[in-house]
Structure 1
Amino acid sequence: MPKITYIEYDGEEHVVEASEGSTVMQTAVDNGVPGIDGDCGGFCSCATCHVYVEPAWIDKVGPPNDDEAAMLDYAGNIRDNSRLGCQITITEELDGLVVRTPESQH
């Protein structure tokens, strides 16, 4: 199973195993990772799963699609590496993925 590392704004790390086909958001919610709520259930309509993808992973994760980019406007504190966790599907290639949660979500 791929492992995902979530780093809170204060540096606290949570390493969790993720099921392939799940999402960064669902894996966080299922494992009680603080700072990722997923209020909309993963339908790209709330931005409560905003994460910053570590630079080494940007190419593997890929850019947001148009709908995600539009929803990110509501998240605040957007950076070039901002993504919605509900839109990042876990694959074996993402084993070791590292994402950070914004302070505004805590």
Structure 2
Amino acid sequence: MAKITYIENGGTEHHVDVPTGLSVMDGARRFTIPGIDGDCGGACACATCHVYVEGGWAERLPPMEEIEHDMLDFAFDVKENSRLSCQIKIDDGLDGLIVRTPPRQY
């Protein structure tokens, strides 16, 4: 289990314990975190789970695969620290991870 901080675009923070094996998107949906839609259910087919990885965590995550990189073309306001939360799988090493939602999802 890992404590993940989700920060809404407006600044509201949610600190939740997400079970190992779930994705960051699964955690957001399980705890009803606004701003992460996950319309495709985690199939990396829609980009509605786009997040910004904050606090130096971007460099600590596994590199994104080509499908995630390509799908980010459909996300709003992509930045250097953009990731699809469906592709970030929770393990104990992600305890303390911080993600922020973009102004909107497509």
| TM-score interval for Structure 1 and Structure 2 normalised by the shorter chain | over 0.9
Report the TM-score, using the length of structure 1 for normalisation. Answer: 0.95
Instruction: Give CA deviations for 1:35-92 in whole Å, capped at 9, x if unaligned.
Output: 0011101000011100000141012213321000000000120000000000000010
Report the residue type matching 1:17 in the other structure: D
Alpha-carbon RMSD? 1.3
Report the residue type matching 1:23 in the other structure: S
Instruction: Give CA deviations for 1:1-29 in whole Å, capped at 9, x if unaligned.
Output: 21000001111001111010100000000
1:53 corresponds to: 53
1:3 corresponds to: 3
Compare the two structures and name the one with the higher helix fraction: 1
Query: Is the 8 Å Cα contact of residues 5 and 99 (structure 1) preserved in structure 2?
Result: yes
Report the TM-score, using the length of structure 2 for normalisation. Answer: 0.95
1:92 corresponds to: 92
Aligned residues with identical type, % of pairs: 55
**Over 3 Å off, 4+ runs:** none
Query: Is the 8 Å Cα contact of residues 60 and 93 (structure 1) preserved in structure 2?
Result: no
